[in-house]
């Protein structure tokens, strides 16, 4: 089993833990198609899932799945033998059995309140489970179990919770409280790092008295013809006779 696949599975499991409240043992509901694939590749489902998810796993199936495998006859007989070794999960269809797809879809409801993971090779069931937020989907590729990436509904719910657009449910609120207790965080003792803005007095600069700017004194000029410049006097030539002497 490759280390890269284990790291991816560990990251996805942490998302389901933190945002949807999944806890060990993880409950995985397995249908007939997954049982058939595991029989073809000789894979021990419980042991393989536990090593891949690095967690304690509880493998489940329903009476409706067993009834459907029984009706399909010899073709699905090996898958039926694998499914009979799994623990039964109550589905509420004992009197009126449904198809495996309809039965598992009814277990998920609208928000997967029972925190179930689905292991299937059926496309119809995969598509239906992808529309419910918080449903881990497992499938088998050759002889390896793969935890599928987050579905569009799960990714959207994670984004909304991260940005505070959606209020956490009661289960999620309990998960948040439990995580804070594990980290020894108490809201009453946590101080905000942001500085509070205190209301201060008026700006001292605005309280100063305005200084009076001295106005320039205008000089009186009684003679408007005088421009302040000294006039030059013309001297007459000595050789020119005065008109009075003539």
Phi/psi at 216 (5° precision): -65, 135
Predicted confidence (pLDDT) at residue 217 exceeds the cutoff of 70:
no
Query: Quick check: pTM over 0.75?
Result: no
* Residue 46: strand, helix, or coil: helix
Residue 30, pLDDT above cutoff 80: yes
Residue 38, class by beta-carbon neighbours within 10 Å (0-12 exposed, 13-18 middle, 19+ buried)?
Answer: buried
How far apart are the C-alpha atoms of 116 and 23, rounded to whole Å?
10
The domain of 47 spans 3-10+23-149
Structure tokens at 30: 């397995």
Q: What is the pLDDT of residues 130-156, one digit of tens each?
A: 999 999 999 999 889 999 999 999 999
What is the tens place of the pLDDT at every residue in 46-89?
Answer: 999 999 998 899 999 999 999 999 999 999 999 999 999 999 99
State how far the Cα of 152 lies from the Cα of 132, in Å rounded to an integer: 9
**In a domain? residue 27:** yes
- Is residue 233 predicted with pLDDT exceeding 90? no
Of residues 204 and 52, the one with the higher pLDDT is 52
| Residue 110 vs residue 245, higher pLDDT | 110
Cα 73 versus chain centre, distance: 46
Please report whether residue 106 resides in a domain. Answer: yes
Q: pLDDT band at residue 191, thresholds of 50, 70 and 90?
A: very low
Tokens of 91: 């589905």
Task: Determine which of 43-52, 71-80, 119-128, 225-234 has the lowest per-residue pLDDT on average.
Answer: 225-234
* Domain presence at residue 129: yes
pLDDT of residue 154: 93
Domain for residue 132, yes or no? Answer: yes
In degrees, rounded to 5, the angle at the alpha carbon of residue 161 between the alpha carbons of residues 158 and 165 is 125
* Stretch (H or E) spanning 156: helix 152-162
What is the domain-level CATH number for residue 57?
3.40.50.1010
CA 234 to chain centre: 101
Confidence of residue 170 (pLDDT cuts 50, 70, 90): low
The answer to whether position 224 is within a domain reads no
User: What was the pLDDT predicted at 48?
Assistant: 92
Q: Report if residue 104 sits inside a domain.
A: yes
Whether 159 has a pLDDT exceeding 70, the answer reads yes
Domain count within the chain: 1
- The rounded percent of the chain whose pLDDT value lies above 70 is 67
**Nearest Cα to Cα of residue 132 among 149, 158, 118, 111:** 111
Does residue 45 sit within a domain? yes
In a domain, 93, yes or no: yes
């Amino acid at each position: 089993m490759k280390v890269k696949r284990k790291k991816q599975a560990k990251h996805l499991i942490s998302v389901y833990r933190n945002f949807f409240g999944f806890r060990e043992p993880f409950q995985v509901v397995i249908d007939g198609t997954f049982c058939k694939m595991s029989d073809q590749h000789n894979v021990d489902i419980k042991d393989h899932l536990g090593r891949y998810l690095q967690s304690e796993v509880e493998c489940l199936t329903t009476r409706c799945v067993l009834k459907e495998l029984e009706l399909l006859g010899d073709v699905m007989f090996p898958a039926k033998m694998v499914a009979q070794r799994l623990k039964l999960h109550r589905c509420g269809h004992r009197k009126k059995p449904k198809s495996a797809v309809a039965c598992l879809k009814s277990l998920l409801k609208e928000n997967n309140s029972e925190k179930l993971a689905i292991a299937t090779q059926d496309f119809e069931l995969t598509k239906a489970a992808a529309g419910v937020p918080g449903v881990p989907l497992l499938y088998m590729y050759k002889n390896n179990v793969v935890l599928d990436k987050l579905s569009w509904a799960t990714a959207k719910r994670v984004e909304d919770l991260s940005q505070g657009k959606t209020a956490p449910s009661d289960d999620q609120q309990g998960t948040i409280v439990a995580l804070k207790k594990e980290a020894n965080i108490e809201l009453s003792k946590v101080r905000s790092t942001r500085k509070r803005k205190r209301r201060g007095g008026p700006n001292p600069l605005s309280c100063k008295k305005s200084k009076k700017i001295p106005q320039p004194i205008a000089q009186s000029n009684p003679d408007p013809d005088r421009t302040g410049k000294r006039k030059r006097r013309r001297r007459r030539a000595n050789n020119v006779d005065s008109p009075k002497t003539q």
